[in-house]
Structure 1
Amino acid sequence: MALSQTKSTKMGMSRLLRIFVFVGAVFMILLIIIYWDEVGATNFYLHATISGPHPSRLTPHRRSDPEKKTDEDKENSFLTDIDAFVNQFLEGTIDPTEQVRGEPTPGEAHNQSSEKSEEKFVPRREWKIHLTPIDPEMKQRQENRKQLLQDFCSNRSLFDFPGKYRNFDDIPNKELDHLIVDDRHGIIYCYVPKVACSNWKRIMIVLSESLLLDGVPYQNPLDVPQDLVHNSSLHFTFNKFWKRYGKFSRHLMKIKLKKYTKFLFVRDPFVRLISAYRNKFEQPNEDFYRRFAVVMLKRYSKYTNPPASVVNAFAAGIRPSFTNFIQYLLDPKTEKDTPFNEHWKQIYRLCHPCQINYDFVGKLETLDEDAEHLLRILRVDNVVEFPPSHRNRTVSSWEQDWFAKIPLESRNELYRLYEADFKLFGYSKPDKLLHE
């Protein structure tokens, strides 16, 4: 009888313990949801394994389109994020020196089909141990660039420009589509076209493992096919948050902006315009010809009925001049009809430096040094290397020649249009160009 009572007591205690564990787990999840900001929930993936295919990714080329997610998908994604956060406490932090998931060695490849149920873990690359500190000059360079941004954004007596004082919540979602998020490494990159953005997008694709070949993520940025680099479905941007997280989207954006490392790369504004013109209008580009070149030819040139295709136009030697391009940028009808294209839109309008406190500001003029410094700061220099840059096809020394046919008044008007970018990012006013 006593033995039976003892067993009954033990069973009751065991049942009570399970109830306490269940209630505790529920309480913890509620606590996470209620105090989302305090617990830093956006570090979901910061301790995840940094390489290897994720089971939710599709082969051979890309993930399913996040824009086509159903309500059930959104709910599952949100619950998965909560699970990932809770698992950090249950499983602990992964040691970066541990082996990580990667491709099978050549000797193992032929056994792969018979071992599908058994995961392979092989080191992908040696972890770098930096024995030397980061160059103080590089640190100071970043401090100076960030301080300049802070001064212009916070000081009302300095240069003013549209949108300078608005809050982050005032920025429409469609204006946040240049902010690419990598949750695996806690990185946010604001890409600026014509500022090495193709290679930085390649880096982000490799880090996020959003593109697969035969079920394996790309490891070398240069292996990423050129035609896929700018594929929007491969980049998870802030603009897509509302489709995945709904009413939580803005809140999560703010948390990630607070927790993640944010960077952008900039360039002399006038040189960037020259580069944009050369790339989009001196080379045959059907899309840009139809959307922009035809408008320029009709408005500012003698062509009332320009060729319908870029092939025919180039064959006839017809294309808008650089002067036509500048006229188009300065024409009030341009912005009235359609917003500036990202290739010539001001950097401050793409990346919102007065609303987002960037941790790193790189420049194309110091690209190699800045890229190496940034990858080391991000602790991903063991995972990727920035592709070697081909020395710039468009340089500042060309400005005088390119603007020679632009009227002086138009040059000054153009400077006023891009003055915020000059000042915010520390580019000298081109006085010689504006006073001759």
Structure 2
Amino acid sequence: MGTSRMFRIFVVLGSAFMILLIIIYWDDVGASHLYLHTPVSPGPKIPHPPPHQGPQTSRTPSFLSDIDAFVNQFLEPGTGEPTDPAPPDTSNQSEKAEERYIPRREWKIHLTPVAAELRERQEQRRKLLQEMCANDSVVFPGKNRSFDDIPNRELDHLIVDDRHGIIYCYVPKVACSNWKRIMIVLSESLLRDGVPQRDPMAIPRDLVHNSSMHFTFNKFWKRYGKFARHLMKVKLKKYTKFIFVRDPFVRLISAYRNKFELRNEDFYRRFAQVMLRRYANQPTPPASVDEAFGVGIHPSFSHFIQYLLDPQTEKEMPFNEHWRQVYRLCHPCQIQYDFVGHLETAEEDAEHLLRQLRVDNVVEFPTSHRNLTASSWEADWFSTVPVEARRELYKLYEPDFRLFGYDRPDSILNE
């Protein structure tokens, strides 16, 4: 009887010990490297003497490879060799795809340092964010809450790439389509004939904005349950976090041009019809966007601003992401971004960022100036908007102006 009882005690103690080991491994390794079969490769490899070449009897266990990849990212810069292990076994794929697979080389030695002015620019932008978040004169909803207090539904703009240790908060109308393309290429979440897609511009637009292509923070709950928030905070601490922003008023003009001056059935039904009924004396607006455009009916920019300022708008639903304030999308006072890009300096910032991430020899940012809304157009666009409405609009978006260093548009507000 005593022997049986002692045996049960040893079993219980042994199980508890194993659970403790699992928790420690999860916290120290798994939390920073959750895709256990997807290698992380942001760091270089230190050269070591070649090991004894003996007969290989079995493949290295995958969890050991994961630990190696995790450790490599903290090593000091060395030879510039890639840290990725050999490409995964593709024996079940076509021979053509296997032949086309090119192992990634994601560590690049640069002969010249990043320009001092670019480093200084980033330092100033990060410092400004910290100062504004600590400044009591900058007030907006949710500013002083903790990260734990942010509802899960408000974390859907934070895209995670565990392969390279990157978190990107996308802001619509700030080149987010192309940055999403970059994230798809880096995360290798899109395969073509079994081969990861390498060309960002070859990714169809419908896939770029397909939520299934991106692993965002708000999906953590479904995958990791009660560990989700803890894992988010671990990644926020260890990964490189970046955001791109734009002059808030110019972003609104761009949103209006794209969603209401072009034929967009979804935005017409959800928003344009509401604006036409409320502000354009159109009690029964056309049923479809084609009918509306056929008779020359669409909400004006002034109607759009009225819609944003109308208290009834947010009572019905939160602002759409295309005109929602950046502080509501990306939580800059709860998340310390490592890189803050501006659309106005997009080319320089993109090159600097990709180089900082050490992936500039893997992918290039696809720049495009087609149909780009210019800041110089602000006065013309706001000429139809009453001055008082412009000032109310500024109050609505003032936190974004101040957080990200955009000047108060006095020429528009003081007419």
TM-score range, shorter chain: 0.7 to 0.9
Q: Secondary structure at the match of 1:262?
A: strand
Q: Secondary structure at the match of 1:228?
A: helix
Change (3 A) 1:29 1:120: farther
Q: Alignment partner for residue 386 of structure 2, among 407, 414, 418?
A: 407
Match of 1:311 in 2: 290
User: Could you tell me how far 1:232 is from its partner in structure 2?
Assistant: 0.5
Match of 2:119 in 1: 139
In 1, distance between residues paired with 2:262 and 2:152?
32
In 2, distance between residues paired with 1:113 and 1:412?
61
Q: Alignment partner for residue 178 of structure 1, among 157, 170, 188?
A: 157
1:42 aligns with 2:32: yes
Change (3 A) 1:213 1:139: same
User: Could you tell me how far 1:388 is from its partner in structure 2?
Assistant: 2.3
Q: How many residues align?
A: 376
In 1, distance between residues paired with 2:63 and 2:285?
58
Runs of 4+ in 1 over 2 A off after TM superposition: 23-32, 34-41, 43-47, 83-95, 97-104, 112-116, 118-128
In 2, distance between residues paired with 1:84 and 1:29?
20
In 1, distance between residues paired with 2:319 and 2:40?
40
Match of 2:54 in 1: none
User: Could you tell me how far 1:132 is from its partner in structure 2?
Assistant: 1.0
Moved more, 384-393 or 228-237: 384-393
Task: State how 1:265-280 maps to structure 2 within 5 Å.
Answer: 265-280=244-259
Q: Are the counterparts in 2 of residues 102 and 121 from structure 1 also a CA contact under 8 Å?
A: no
Q: Are the counterparts in 2 of residues 296 and 320 from structure 1 also a CA contact under 8 Å?
A: yes
Q: Are the counterparts in 1 of residues 41 and 83 from structure 2 also a CA contact under 8 Å?
A: no
Match of 2:77 in 1: none
1:251 aligns with 2:237: no
In 2, distance between residues paired with 1:49 and 1:154?
35
> RMSD over aligned Cα, in angstroms?
3.1
Q: Deviations over 1:336-394 (max 9, x none)?
A: 01110000000000000000010000000000000000001111112111012226621
Q: Are the counterparts in 2 of residues 181 and 236 from structure 1 also a CA contact under 8 Å?
A: yes
Change (3 A) 1:124 1:171: closer
In 2, distance between residues paired with 1:136 and 1:37?
37
1:159 aligns with 2:138: yes
Match of 1:33 in 2: 23
The percentage of aligned residue pairs carrying the same residue is 70
User: Could you tell me how far 1:101 is from its partner in structure 2?
Assistant: 3.4
**Counterpart residue type for residue 427 of structure 1:** Y
User: Could you tell me how far 1:49 is from its partner in structure 2?
Assistant: 6.5
In 1, distance between residues paired with 2:85 and 2:172?
37
Q: Deviations over 1:158-186 (max 9, x none)?
A: 32111110000111110000000000000
Q: Are the counterparts in 2 of residues 263 and 358 from structure 1 also a CA contact under 8 Å?
A: yes
In 1, distance between residues paired with 2:230 and 2:84?
34
User: Could you tell me how far 1:44 is from its partner in structure 2?
Assistant: 4.7
User: Could you tell me how far 1:408 is from its partner in structure 2?
Assistant: 0.5
Q: Are the counterparts in 2 of residues 48 and 184 from structure 1 also a CA contact under 8 Å?
A: yes
Moved more, 162-171 or 41-50: 41-50
Match of 2:315 in 1: 336
User: Could you tell me how far 1:302 is from its partner in structure 2?
Assistant: 1.6
In 1, distance between residues paired with 2:348 and 2:16?
49
Moved more, 236-245 or 24-33: 24-33
**Counterpart residue type for residue 31 of structure 1:** L
Structure 2: any 5+ residue segments left out of the alignment? 1-12, 43-60, 74-80
Change (3 A) 1:238 1:84: farther
User: Could you tell me how far 1:255 is from its partner in structure 2?
Assistant: 0.4
In 1, distance between residues paired with 2:231 and 2:340?
23
**Counterpart residue type for residue 223 of structure 2:** R
In 1, distance between residues paired with 2:95 and 2:371?
50
Q: Deviations over 1:410-436 (max 9, x none)?
A: 000000000000000000000110010
Moved more, 119-128 or 234-243: 119-128
In 2, distance between residues paired with 1:385 and 1:100?
24
**Counterpart residue type for residue 39 of structure 2:** A
Match of 1:353 in 2: 332
Q: Deviations over 1:200-254 (max 9, x none)?
A: 0000000111111122210010110112110001010001000000011001000
Task: State how 1:29-428 maps to structure 2 within 5 Å.
Answer: 30-31=20-21, 33-34=23-24, 37=27, 41-44=31-34, 48=39, 87-89=65-67, 93=72, 96=82, 101=87, 113=94, 122-123=102-103, 128-156=108-136, 158-390=137-369, 393-428=372-407
Q: Secondary structure at the match of 1:345?
A: coil
Change (3 A) 1:307 1:99: same
Change (3 A) 1:184 1:318: same
User: Could you tell me how far 1:136 is from its partner in structure 2?
Assistant: 1.0
Moved more, 197-206 or 87-96: 87-96
Q: TM-score, normalised by structure 2?
A: 0.83
User: Could you tell me how far 1:84 is from its partner in structure 2?
Assistant: 6.3
Match of 1:7 in 2: none
**Counterpart residue type for residue 161 of structure 2:** D
In 2, distance between residues paired with 1:151 and 1:239?
28
Moved more, 146-155 or 34-43: 34-43
Q: Are the counterparts in 2 of residues 49 and 101 from structure 1 also a CA contact under 8 Å?
A: no
User: Could you tell me how far 1:120 is from its partner in structure 2?
Assistant: 8.4
**Counterpart residue type for residue 130 of structure 2:** Q
Change (3 A) 1:89 1:103: closer
**Counterpart residue type for residue 260 of structure 1:** Y
In 1, distance between residues paired with 2:96 and 2:365?
35
Structure 1: any 5+ residue segments left out of the alignment? 1-22, 52-82, 105-111
Q: Are the counterparts in 1 of residues 40 and 162 from structure 2 also a CA contact under 8 Å?
A: no
